[in-house]
Structure 1
Amino acid sequence: MATSARIVAPTAPQPHTHTIILRHGRGSNGSVFCDELFESEDSSDRFIVDIFPTVKWVFPSAMESYTMSDGEFQWFDMSSVQRPQENNEIQKSGLWHSVAQILLVVEEEANVVGSQNVILVGISQGCATGIFALLASGIRVGGFVGLNGWLPLADEVQGITKVPGRVQDVLKMPVLLQHCKDDDIVPVENGDDLKKRLEEMNMCVKWECFDDGGHWLNEPEGMDGLVDFIQMVMIAT
């Protein structure tokens, strides 16, 4: 594995069919994200790890990178998650470093199950890093899920996708975005901006916005949406 990660192997006796790579938010790590997600239930009181027994779950952790002001683990430095387009220059070095990390993990898992059977999920800064990595590299996976996120270096990455002759297959990738209106960390407007920018690239985006849930997914409706999306990707592949 290219970086430290919490890995949960498939639980079924059947072969490993899919890999879901999940990137945590700023100030968290892979193990914490894993524990929190696996404690969340859908409307039928089911845990997601039990719903998908042939899935391998990979929860990478960010390298030890700290903000000058907050002293938090993060995927890249930035001055404000509320205003993510400010001070773009300080974001670039860490962002591109994290892109290289995630693409290596994607490549490793794609070599096992095929890229169409890899799903990338990210929350908050993990969402931002994940969608940027796929758009900037042009690499397509089976699907992308973004929770309470945004698009970093938005104008720059939109320009990259318009380069003549560039492979556009990534723009055909299905996307699920969720955001909670009472998120007091990343404003819902940032998630709505991400949705609009992806739609401007002609991507197929499913947008689910919930009244409550804070800086997390709404339970149980948000978990229902996540389960439905994963099932849709698995059926399609």
Structure 2
Amino acid sequence: FVMPAWYDIRSADASSWNRTDNAAMQDGAGIRASQQMIDAFIEREIARGIAPQNIFLAGFSQGGAIALQCGLRRPAGLGGILALSTYLPLADSLQGEASEAGSRTPLFMAHGRQDPVVPYALGTHSLKLLQEAGCKVDWYEYDMPHSVCMEEIDDISDWLSQRMTAPA
């Protein structure tokens, strides 16, 4: 079936996902446009008085890809990034674009071992690339397809509880 997204993830070759020629296939312009919208939203929240460490980006599938794209490139760190059943987009540009604060942002990443939509191999390849870029990733995997399970929800809850601060 055709992917209900801006491009077909399943047509990607996980072993060459970080090659520059994959950027066109990934719709780099669309990814960067989404990044600009999310960045503008974050800046509005900061202007309203929300501390960056109290902002968490989370996304599932291609939403997780956008969370990674935005969070790792922010000049000021965030409270955390949660990337579920996803992959690292535009991986070849990460080294040159990731901010020091973005690389230090806490990162929860989870994937189903039977995911037929975003292949498990693409998730683990993304994990490897993130670790090579100096990111500390809390990695979780589950016996599930392209979905969310109760064990994952519990892990997310625990992870967030350890990182969220009460308002002053």
- Return the offset for 1:128: 0.7
- The 3 A distance-change label for structure 1 pair 117 and 225 is same
Q: What is the aligned length?
A: 159
Match of 2:121 in 1: 189
- The 3 A distance-change label for structure 1 pair 221 and 82 is farther
- Secondary structure in 1 aligned to 2:89? coil
Match of 2:83 in 1: 146
- Return the offset for 1:148: 0.5
Percent of matched pairs sharing the same residue: 27
- Return the offset for 1:147: 0.3
TM-score in terms of structure 1 length: 0.61
Q: Which has the higher helix share?
A: 2
The equivalences for 1:33-48 within 5 A come to none
Q: What one-letter code is carried by the residue in structure 2 that aligns with 1:210?
A: Y
Checking the alignment, whether the CA contact within 8 Å between 1:124 and 1:148 is kept in structure 2 is yes
Structure with the greater alpha carbon radius of gyration: 1
The equivalences for 1:71-82 within 5 A come to 72=4, 74=5, 77-81=6-10
Checking the alignment, whether the CA contact within 8 Å between 1:178 and 1:217 is kept in structure 2 is no
- Return the offset for 1:109: 2.1
Tell me, yes or no, if structure 1 residue 101 matches structure 2 residue 37: yes
Checking the alignment, whether the CA contact within 8 Å between 1:82 and 1:187 is kept in structure 2 is no
- Return the offset for 1:71: 7.8
Match of 1:205 in 2: 137
After TM superposition, the runs of 4+ consecutive aligned structure 1 residues lying more than 4 A away are none
TM-score in terms of structure 2 length: 0.83
Q: What one-letter code is carried by the residue in structure 1 that aligns with 2:127?
A: K
2:12 is aligned, of 77, 83, 86, to 83
Give distance in 1, aligned partners of 2:140 and 2:166: 21
Structure 1 stretches lacking a partner, 5+ long: 1-68, 162-166
Structure 2 stretches lacking a partner, 5+ long: none
- Return the offset for 1:201: 1.8
- Secondary structure in 2 aligned to 1:170? helix
- The 3 A distance-change label for structure 1 pair 71 and 199 is closer
Q: What one-letter code is carried by the residue in structure 1 that aligns with 2:24?
A: E
